[in-house]
């Protein structure tokens, strides 16, 4: 018997966007004439994309970068191997096959205070979570800590800044790790630590932390936040590789 997450869906690429060098968004619309409608999903889940003649044959997971109430689904892909390179070559009008949305990196209930921690392309599911959370509760207390190599590679940052200007309980902290320091206070030019995070929170032990990035980044954040006294059941992770 086919389980829900093994079901396949056919999509038409209705738009492509270059977000930054080597980072591209595919906007997927449900293909016309396909009986199975657009699947529902939770903000933070992913799609497993299937590409014939490419490894892995079971497909590769890409987080959904758009919130659940969008009419279309967006996946934002970093070009870092043959599979993702093939997706970067896709054009408007091409078809794409995926499995149903899946994953456990999502909010089960509204937290007292939400802290989102993203490294690089790990911002993609976090974007979905932020938009969905603010749509449901514009007054949700929430802070984003975002690490990117350069300002150019900090995709969606301007979008988050605009959200922070209209939602007074949402703040954004951008750290740039490979850019020369300038005389501005908008960003910080180094890696952030768990200490940077905890020191700005009013009650760290009452926060829920959603961490997404590469394996080393995610493991470090989980370990150092635990060492700062954050309960493990308050730490939710999604690691990219």
Per-residue pLDDT at 160:
98
Every domain of the chain with CATH number 3.40.50.80 lies at: 114-240
Q: What is the pLDDT of residues 208-240, one digit of tens each?
A: 999 999 999 999 999 999 999 999 999 999 998
CATH number given to 114-240: 3.40.50.80
Condensed to tens digits (0 to 9), the pLDDT of residues 107-163 reads 999 999 999 999 999 999 999 999 999 999 999 999 999 999 999 999 999 999 999
- The reported pTM is 0.94
The 3-class secondary structure across the chain, one letter per residue, is CCCHHHCEEEEEEEEEEEEECCEEEEEEEECCCCCCCCCCCCCCCEEEEECCCCCCCCCEEEEECCCCCCCCEEEEEECCCHHHHHHHCCCCCCEEEEECCECCCCCCCCCCCEEEEEEHHHHHHHHHHHHHHHHHCCCCCEEEEEEECCCCCCCCHHHHHHHHHHCCCEEEEEEECCCCCCCCCCEECCCCCHHHHHHCCCCHHHCEEEEEEEHHHHHHHHHHHHHCCCCHHHEEEEEEC
Residue span(s) of the chain under CATH 2.40.30.10 come to 4-99
**Hey, what CATH topology would domain 4-99 get?**
Elongation Factor Tu (Ef-tu); domain 3 (2.40.30)
């Amino acid at each position: 018997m086919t389980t829900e997450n093994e079901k396949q869906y056919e999509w038409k690429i209705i738009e492509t966007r270059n977000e930054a060098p080597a980072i591209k968004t595919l906007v997927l619309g449900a293909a016309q004439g396909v009986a199975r409608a657009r699947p529902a999903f939770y903000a933070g889940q992913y799609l497993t994309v299937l590409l014939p003649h490419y490894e892995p044959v079971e497909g590769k997971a890409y987080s959904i970068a758009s919130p659940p109430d969008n009419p279309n689904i967006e996946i934002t892909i970093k070009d870092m191997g043959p599979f993702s390179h093939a997706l970067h070559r896709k054009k408007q009008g091409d078809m794409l096959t995926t499995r149903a949305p899946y994953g456990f990196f999502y909010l089960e209930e509204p937290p007292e205070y939400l802290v989102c921690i993203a490294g690089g392309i790990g911002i993609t599911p976090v974007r979905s979570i932020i938009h969905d959370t603010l749509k449901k509760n514009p007054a949700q207390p929430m802070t984003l800590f975002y690490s990117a190599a350069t300002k150019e590679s900090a995709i969606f940052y301007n979008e988050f800044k605009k959200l922070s200007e209209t939602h007074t309980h949402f703040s954004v902290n951008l750290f740039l790790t490979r850019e020369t320091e300038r005389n501005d206070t908008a960003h910080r030019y180094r890696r952030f630590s768990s200490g940077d995070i905890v020191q700005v929170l009013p009650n760290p032990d009452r926060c829920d932390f959603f961490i997404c990035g590469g394996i080393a980044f995610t493991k470090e954040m989980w370990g150092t936040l635990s060492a700062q006294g954050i309960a493990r059941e308050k730490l939710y992770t999604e690691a990219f590789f």
